Chains A and B, each alone.
Chain A
């Protein structure tokens, strides 16, 4: 075609990025890659390799080593060996290494971008303008943290050896998100890239060599799910960081339950994209392009559910369709392509099936008239309208360029629809009214909310999810915490095994569940009758301790009571034997008490101070009763320190606030500390009162509602505590207390899908059980790992560590400018 003809047609024409340099690089490696372990290439012990292909044309790029358990072991050993020296480096020395990595990423930026596009299928525009610059930015940002770490995190130490497993959608960027904070905080790393996209990680291994990073600090083992499993299960790994599917996240949670491995999960999403009638609709459409048609929709935070206010739905759909028609789909190395190739055939098939199913369920499918390349894995941009919340395409993550559109009438309905998902990764809100946008942003259950923008990322801003989108954050100060632990935590000794008392095994779970109002039928011995009498003698009128649910004292569903004995074995009284139904009721009450979380922090502080005041008033009698179990000295100390601790958390209530980050854009990114929601608390035995206060109060202070299970050692404390709560203006349902057998109540709490977090501070088995049984809704589990915490030492038993677990960070991006 002549220039004259092109002059008439005004087509774009091809604009291919040259792949020569990358091909030469692959050839130089013989198109075959080993693992990178201990600073050198290491052939797989099993001699097994797999192939990685270019999804845009199906051509083989290279053979890559399949990692075995042996390879993982070698890598973990290398990382362990490198750890002491790496941790001992001066902050400035580590900062220089991270700085060098950032510079080298920039020096090799085009090669990395082209290689990424060839291995993954994403448009070169994105790998060149988004992925790789963000990789460099991440290393720069964390070089800074390495430099000032000791000053800013004085009391913290690195986890140790970190196992990291990353997905195929942003291969090098996810590597950077994992490796940069890990190295900055002094950890050493074994990273497994995704099997579809291992090549940029291997190119990064070369960069580590070029930066003269000490050997063993970064190790890269390639392979499939089996390799990842070996890494997760390796006993000498201190932390696992995973980004990927919720399904695999659950498996990792279960597999690490019996270990002390710290865990962060960044999982799937079905993020809402909410457009109000007062939005700049043309800009919202571009936001959608950046949302669902970015990276072929293979983005965990893709705005895949379009929620439109009814009044503008028709106009918006017309604009979306017009815009979809100008999207260019084709070979991703072309610089003017918007949508490249889907990463693999299996993924393409999954998209097709889900769309077919959505259409079968009544959705209307619209696709622009575009021609797809003859080979390679391509899927056209797709709009599904007439979608209802019940449809599979509104619920399941499709991970493709498929948008499901729905309408809403009011802001509150928008929030309801937006939150009607098991996920909670990200959300977009488009409105020109700052009131509407921020009101909605505050109510969305999502770790990231973009107001009038989409898919903005920066190293300074935490990224991560609520609910089944995982836990932990990447980026920002909050991201660093995932790779650090308070120095004292690791020094704690294991809890001494305590006599669990004969109560534990007395009744089977069935009996506890039974509602029949029968007694155990067991004859009491003379001694027991004697001690019962003495318990009654202590208070002139029989004192019945009940459960505390929804602000009311409640009899246990079972109708049973459990004996509570003093240190000397004497019967002190009877506590209600709560069961799963009591837990159910308590969770319902806690959920209904959401007003507590919406109360101002000042208001919550006032209520907490009032609790301290009332505890002080009853201190003497509470201490007198508690003394029967823990002795007079400890009882007095528990009351005294308990009052002080409540004061501390009342003080914190309006001071543990968020941050405003400084990403390199014209906006404010507000990192808000939000309550997690309903928190189950299994209270420690060793300090029945102070332990209860030390856990329940930080949760309350941050606006959570609590279902507390007091220690089996002295559940009667419930009776004293609810008297305090009742007289202190604590709203009904904000705190609920269910006494009973801890193991059974913990199980019900752990498996309850409406409990958002579970704190277990008893023995190691309970910690493991809490983790293992939390997989249903991936609730956040916080435990002592069976370690002994000295609740009487405020440096250990109080403060930020607890508060940090009582909140999750929501980053709200608000660009501005007129």
Chain B
């Protein structure tokens, strides 16, 4: 489809998010809708069929050569470069921010002829403690700071504290808040409670973008994933996100398929666009191409942008760098040749 340079990240910080387009219909930012329990209950997911589609989709599509390079660059610009470890320090976060600003060595940038694109990651994703550090390190870069919040990763601290946590991060200047849901609400079918919780988070976020982490590795069934996705969108999620990275399984393509289909359905029914963020377990360039391909097939090109799609990843960038260097030089690369994140 026809696109222009506004689809690059350069427009990401002018306050207004460009909306996505579905089947030619421009969509608006999600403001949520009242909880529709009939819709939630009617969600049907056939696990075997979804797995089959996920499996064959990656075999049906591939990108090669310059196209592959372009797609990998796009993957970088959709990346929430993440560090969420107990041993994180200010210095570690600053190093990550530096990598986010210059994800590729200038030699590769030159060889690929992409200087004009100003390739950099979409956001740096950290605990609240490091929001200030990250903001300082990223000043002037246009890169967002995302804070995980609400008792991440379990999400089991008292609701008031979780909401207060969001407020603190917003006050600290975080652009995006990644919240986690109470998984027990899903198991218990307490959709109203889930809705109210997320709506409360949304209110605390204000205009800041809220990514709702479903913890799909905990939810276990794809039907649960589908229902939780719908409730999260109804409650006003700007993004729905697969995982904290701390569950036993993280982002898988079948889960992604269920969530993107839910996003499509929601857009069709409401005219509002919700973004998608798979997180955890995405470590290779090939995986990033598979995910982008799935977004293109299920939601279309307008979702293949940082405004609507993010990878939550830490190790992915290194592999993309190696692949791009290989493309630029024709030689296979080694990890140690690329600056550490």
Contact = CB atoms under 8 A, between A and B. Distances in A.
Are both chains from one complex?
A: yes
Given A2-B113, A452-B48, A815-B48, A15 B66 contact: no
A283 B257 CA distance: 10
Contacts of A525: none
A280 B49 contact: yes
B59 A7 contact: no
A7 B49 contact: no
Contact of A7 (B117, B221, B222): B117
B70 interface: yes
Given A286-B53, A322-B23, A8 B46 contact: no
Nearest to B301: A10
A542 interface: no
B336 interface: no
A281 B258 CA distance: 12
Interface string A273-291: 0000011111110110010
Contact of A280 (B44, B61, B113): B44
A13 B3 contact: no
B70 A7 contact: yes
A366 to B, nearest CB: 14
B4 interface: yes
A8 B50 contact: no
Given A2-B113, A280-B45, A283-B49, A10 B71 contact: yes
A667 interface: yes
A768 B85 CA distance: 81
Interface in A801-818: 815-818
Interface string B69-108: 1110110000000000000000000000000000000000
Contacts of B53: 283, 286
A145 B69 CA distance: 49
A667 B71 CA distance: 36
A537 to B, nearest CB: 74
Given A6-B67, A14-B64, A335-B62, A282 B114 contact: no
Interface in A7-31: 7-15
Most A CB within 10 A of own CB, among B48, B59, B63, B116:
B48
Which bracket fits the contact residues of B?
35 or more
Contact of A283 (B50, B61, B223): B50
A286 B49 contact: yes
A440 to B, nearest CB: 16
B21 interface: no
A123 to B, nearest CB: 9
Contact of B44 (A11, A279, A322, A326): A279
B50 A13 contact: no
Which bracket fits the contact residues of A?
35 or more
Interface string A532-555: 000000000000000000000000
Given A3-B69, A281-B44, A338-B60, A815 B49 contact: yes
B47 A818 contact: yes
A283 B46 contact: yes
B181 interface: no
Interface in B35-67: 44-53, 56, 59-67
B212 to A, nearest CB: 21
Interface string A777-818: 000000000000000000000000000000000000001111
A336 interface: yes
B63 A12 contact: yes
Given A4-B114, A7-B70, A7-B73, A12 B61 contact: yes
B3 A9 contact: yes
A667 B73 contact: no
B49 A818 contact: no
Interface in B200-233: 221-223
Nearest to B22: A322
B61 A817 contact: no
B67 A11 contact: yes
B194 interface: no
B14 interface: no
A580 interface: no
A125 B58 CA distance: 11
A129 interface: yes
A818 B220 CA distance: 9
A453 B46 CA distance: 10
A522 interface: no
A7 B46 contact: no
A490 interface: no
A280 B50 CA distance: 9
Given A12-B67, A336-B61, A818-B221, A432 B52 contact: no
A633 interface: no
B7 interface: yes
Contact of A15 (B3, B63, B116, B223): B63
A466 B154 CA distance: 56
Contact of A336 (B50, B62, B65, B74): B62
B296 to A, nearest CB: 7
Contacts of A14: 64
Contacts of A15: 62-64
Contacts of A667: 48
Contacts of A279: 44, 46
B144 to A, nearest CB: 20
A491 interface: no
B1 to A, nearest CB: 8
Contacts of B73: 3, 7
A125 B55 CA distance: 13
A367 to B, nearest CB: 16
A284 B60 CA distance: 18
A562 B332 CA distance: 93
B283 interface: no
A350 B66 CA distance: 40
Contact of B8 (A6, A8, A284): A8
A162 B62 CA distance: 43
B52 A8 contact: no
B261 A282 contact: yes
B44 A3 contact: no
11 contacts: A3-B69, A4-B114, A7-B70, A8-B3, A10-B74, A10-B292, A283-B49, A284-B49, A336-B60, A815-B49, A818-B221
Interface of B: 3-5, 7-8, 23, 44-53, 56, 59-71, 73-74, 112-114, 116-117, 221-223, 261, 292, 296-297, 301, 304
